[in-house]
């Protein structure tokens, strides 16, 4: 009698854990999509909603952007001076705990002239007050 009960309990716990990861995966995918949309449309209101106050960002040219105001200002400058269609595709999400994760993404910018920049972008995301937010961004342009 104990073995079937233990099996049912283990199955329940597995489903609970897997279901939570799936819901978090969906929320983090949505968050990265919102970031991409906000960058594309230069939506500072959306950025303020999805970025942590203490965000820091290291961009591919080596510039550090620390704090939400500096990050948003830099993002707007970058979107204006580097026009193009931006696509972020999550390659992997690794959870560090129940309220933090790392999302590694392929980051592609298609320039108006048809050329492309293919980079990597890593997002550190944290759950604050029940909502996932971007806490850090690291962009890298791989050496060719």
pLDDT tens-place string over residues 29-72: 999 999 999 998 999 999 999 999 999 999 988 899 999 999 99
Q: What letter does residue 59 receive in the DSSP assignment?
A: -
Contact yes or no for 35/134 (Cβ under 8 A): yes
Question: What would the mean pLDDT of 5-28 be, rounded to a whole number?
Answer: 63
pLDDT tens-place string over residues 103-133: 999 999 898 899 998 999 999 999 999 999 9
Q: Is the dihedral of CA 37, 59, 131, 67 positive or negative?
A: negative
Cα 133 vs. chain centroid, distance in angstroms? Answer: 8
Give the domains, in start order, of the chain with CATH numbers.
2-140 (3.10.450.50)
Assess whether pLDDT exceeds 50 at residue 12.
no
Give the residues across from 92 on adjacent strands: 104
pLDDT at position 60, please? 84
pTM of the complete model? 0.82
């Amino acid at each position: 009698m104990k073995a079937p009960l233990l099996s049912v309990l283990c199955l329940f716990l597995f489903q609970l854990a897997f279901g939570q990861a799936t819901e978090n995966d969906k929320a983090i995918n949505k968050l990265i999509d919102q970031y991409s949309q906000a960058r594309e449309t230069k939506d500072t209101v959306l950025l303020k909603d999805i970025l942590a106050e203490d965000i820091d960002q290291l961009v591919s040219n080596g510039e550090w952007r620390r704090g939400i105001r500096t990050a948003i200002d830099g993002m707007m400058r970058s979107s204006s001076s580097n026009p193009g269609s931006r696509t972020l595709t999550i390659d992997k999400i690794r959870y560090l705990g129940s309220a933090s994760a790392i999302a590694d993404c392929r980051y592609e910018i298609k320039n108006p002239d048809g050329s492309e920049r293919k980079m990597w972008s890593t997002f550190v995301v944290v759950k604050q007050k029940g909502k996932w937010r971007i806490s850090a961004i690291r962009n890298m342009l791989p050496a060719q």
